[in-house]
Amino acid sequence: MNQEHDVVVVGAGPGGIASALALKDAGLSAVVLDQAEEVGSSWRGRYDSLHLNTWRRFSQLPGRPYPKGTPTFPSRDQVIEYLERHAGEEGMDLRLGTRVERIERDERGWVVRTSADELRARQLIVATGLDRAPVVPDWPGREDFKGELIHSSQYRNPRPFEGKRVVVVGPGSSGMEIAHELAEGGAGKVWLAVRTPPNVLLRQGPGPVPGDLIATWLWHLPTGLADRIARFAARMDLGDLTEYGLGRPETGVFADVRKRGKVPAIVDGEVIEAIKEGRIEVVTAVTSLGSTWVELADGVRIEPEAVICATGYRRGLEPLVGHLDVLGERGMPKALAPRPAAPGLRFVGYLARPGGLGYMGKQARRSAKAIASELRRDRSRKEDDHGDLDPQRGSGAPEVV
Ligand X SMILES: Cc1cc2nc3c(=O)[nH]c(=O)nc-3n(C[C@H](O)[C@H](O)[C@H](O)COP(=O)(O)OP(=O)(O)OC[C@H]3O[C@@H](n4cnc5c(N)ncnc54)[C@H](O)[C@@H]3O)c2cc1C
Residue ranges that bind ligand X, judged by CB under 6 A: 10-16, 33-36, 41-43, 46, 50, 52-54, 59, 99-100, 127-129, 131-132, 174, 320, 349, 356-357
CA distance 2 to 99: 16
Minimum distance from CB of 14 to ligand X (Å)?
4
For residues 58 and 36, the answer to whether their CB atoms sit within 8 Å is: no
Minimum distance from CB of 29 to ligand X (Å)?
19
For residues 17 and 61, the answer to whether their CB atoms sit within 8 Å is: yes
CA distance 234 to 228: 10
Report helix angle 211-219 to 223-238, nearest 10: 160
CA distance 148 to 160: 11
57-90 as b/e, with b when 16 or more CB fall inside 10 Å? ebbbbbebebeeebebbbebebbbebbeebbeee
Minimum distance from CB of 17 to ligand X (Å)?
7
User: How many other CB atoms are found less than 10 A from the CB of residue 247?
Assistant: 14
Would you call 232 exposed, middle or buried from its count of C-beta atoms within 10 A (0-12, 13-18, 19+)?
A: exposed
Comparing CB distances to ligand X, the nearer of 257 and 289 is 257
Comparing CB distances to ligand X, the nearer of 156 and 301 is 156
For residues 236 and 206, the answer to whether their CB atoms sit within 8 Å is: no
Minimum distance from CB of 236 to ligand X (Å)?
23
Pairing between β-strand 118-126 and β-strand 109-114 as defined by DSSP bridges: antiparallel
Minimum distance from CB of 288 to ligand X (Å)?
27
CA distance 170 to 174: 8
Question: Which of 88, 12, 18, 27 is closest to 364 using CA atoms?
Answer: 18
Give the residue at shortest CB distance from ligand X: 13
Comparing CB distances to ligand X, the nearer of 25 and 385 is 25
CA distance 373 to 367: 10
Reduced DSSP (H G I as helix, E B as strand, rest coil) percent helix, strand, coil of the chain, to 5: 35, 25, 40
Comparing CB distances to ligand X, the nearer of 272 and 360 is 360
Helix (H) or strand (E) holding 356: helix 356-389
CA distance 385 to 399: 8
Minimum distance from CB of 195 to ligand X (Å)?
19
Minimum distance from CB of 237 to ligand X (Å)?
19
Comparing CB distances to ligand X, the nearer of 86 and 189 is 86
Comparing CB distances to ligand X, the nearer of 125 and 296 is 125
Report helix, strand or coil for 102: strand
Minimum distance from CB of 352 to ligand X (Å)?
8
Comparing CB distances to ligand X, the nearer of 129 and 171 is 129
* Rounded alpha-carbon distances, angstroms, from residue 79 to 48, 164, 203: 12, 31, 17
Comparing CB distances to ligand X, the nearer of 217 and 232 is 217
Minimum distance from CB of 267 to ligand X (Å)?
11
Comparing CB distances to ligand X, the nearer of 32 and 372 is 32
Minimum distance from CB of 378 to ligand X (Å)?
26
Comparing CB distances to ligand X, the nearer of 140 and 319 is 319
For residues 210 and 204, the answer to whether their CB atoms sit within 8 Å is: yes
